Chains A and B, each alone.
Chain A
Amino acid sequence: GQQLNQSPQSMFIQEGEDVSMNCTSSSIFNTWLWYKQEPGEGPVLLIALYKAGELTSNGRLTAQFGITRKDSFLNISASIPSDVGIYFCAGQEETSGSRLTFGEGTQLTVNP
């Protein structure tokens, strides 16, 4: 089946640092979504991307839909302790109907 490679698997950073993570797929996607999951909760949508090359921001978060349509990137600027959590990318292929494929997640730890 479809494979999504998300990296890095984990990050340990100091408060105030910038963070970058990315996802790559083996096939073309028409939608990329980025979610955040906090302990004991379900994933919550951060950013949705629908066009190749699209760059979208949500506060300190910025995500991009890669021009090859096989990758996406999420950046967090000036991290704060409440950014701690697991960040997931998810993609939708044109032929997959309503199904999403999820990456394995990036566990982010922010040290005050």
Chain B
Amino acid sequence: NAGVTQTPKFRVLKTGQSMTLLCAQDMNHEYMYWYRQDPGMGLRLIHYSVGEGTTAKGEVPDGYNVSRLKKQNFLLGLESAAPSQTSVYFCASSYSEGKNIQYFGAGTRLSVL
């Protein structure tokens, strides 16, 4: 069982470059999430989706865009990368809002120089 798969695993960008992080889940989950993890700050929600075709802002949405064109995929875009976006990015998915157990991918380590 693949669960939640994130690509790429590592990436180095120059300031101003753009990129897209891909998250794919094979559990037929309705809900998907993008977090960033910085030292000493836990996980902070960037954007999330409650179903195919929907997106919503989380705690730290600025500088990021997302799309959920297919139920199994959730894309995170950086249009013009900044050094402050150097972080580890995690995607998660969950089946329902009620008993909201989120399952995480292995992460994407992004450095912006």
Contact = CB atoms under 8 A, between A and B. Distances in A.
Interface of A: 1, 4, 6, 9, 31, 33, 35, 40-45, 48, 50, 88, 90, 92, 97-100, 102-105
Given A41-B106, A42-B105, A48 B99 contact: yes
A98 B42 contact: no
B97 A97 contact: yes
Contacts of B50: 97-98
Contact of A98 (B4, B59, B94, B106): B94
Nearest to A89: B42
Interface string B81-104: 000000000101010110111111
Contact of A92 (B43, B44, B58, B100): B100
B101 to A, nearest CB: 6
Interface in B57-113: 58-59, 90, 92, 94, 96-97, 99-107
Give the size range of B's interface with the partner. 20 to 34
Scoring B44, B58, B101 by chain A CB atoms within 10 A of each residue's CB, the highest score goes to: B101
Contacts, number: 60
B19 to A, nearest CB: 20
A45 B41 contact: no
B106 to A, nearest CB: 5
Given A99-B33, A102-B42, A105-B42, 12 more contacts: A1-B59, A9-B40, A31-B100, A33-B102, A35-B104, A42-B104, A42-B105, A42-B106, A43-B90, A45-B103, A97-B50, A98-B94
A1 B42 CA distance: 15
Contact of A88 (B31, B33, B42, B59): B42
Contact of B101 (A33, A41, A42, A97): A33
A45 B101 contact: yes
A104 B48 CA distance: 20
